[in-house]
Amino acid sequence: MNILIIGANGTTGRKMVELIGKQGQHQAIAVVREENQINDLIALGASEVRLGDLTKDVTGVVKDADVVIFAAGAGGASEELTRAVDQDGAIKVIDAAKANGIERFLMLSSVGADHPQGDLKVYLESKGAADRHLKDSGLDYTIVRPGPLSYDEPTGTIETKEHFESYEGREVPRDDVAALFVTLIDHPTQTRQFEVLSGPFPIAEALRNQ
């Protein structure tokens, strides 16, 4: 299958490209903003790299794929850019996927997206709005809401629940989140949403428990 990764040059997106390339079962189509990122993504394992700017029209970029993974984010930029990428950009990609007949959509969201508050309020509001649009889109979707992300080495183990009461001390490595998404490609979890934290369960087992 062709897996279109939006935000492929981010830390988590790059790992997704690398894992898909190493497994060799599917083709990773990486979407990036800058032309100077193309060769690096090809070297990581992408079968194709497309240029796309989420602040502009993306209909011509989001096509010829079996699955879309949205892993883009403004990365702590201004409130305006956060809304433009994490909310409006995601909505554009969802609409383009639907218009181009792509039925499956995997969304990298965040815990707290339903109850935005604190310093991350605008970011969480944007994620929540994008998630709601996806749920209403008619696409087969899976929304993954990780807790606090870390740059720690991957453990290969996680825990998933519809909702955790506490996230304290449960940071999840970004590489484990990437591996979770790659596992989801072949896992029938359409039309559901769950949170993920570090935990004791191998990724495939954690998904079976869903």
Q: Where are the beta strands (DSSP E) in 48-125?
A: 48-51, 67-70, 104-108
DSSP per position, 193-210: EEEEEE-SEEHHHHHHT-
Which of 123, 141, 151, 167 is an active site residue?
Answer: 123
157-161 and 192-198 beta bridge pairing: antiparallel
What is the DSSP-derived secondary structure letter of residue 153? P
CA–CA distance, 80 with 160 (Å, rounded to integer): 32
What residues contact residue 51 under an 8 Å CB cut-off, 6+ apart?
Answer: 31, 32, 33, 34, 35, 38, 61
Q: What are phi and psi of 158, to 5 degrees?
A: -145, 180
At 143, list the tokens: 């929304």
At 140, list the tokens: 């087969």
**Separation in Å, CA 189 to CA 74, 87, 116:** 27, 23, 26
Whether 123 sits among the annotated catalytic residues: the reply is yes
* Catalytic residue list: 123
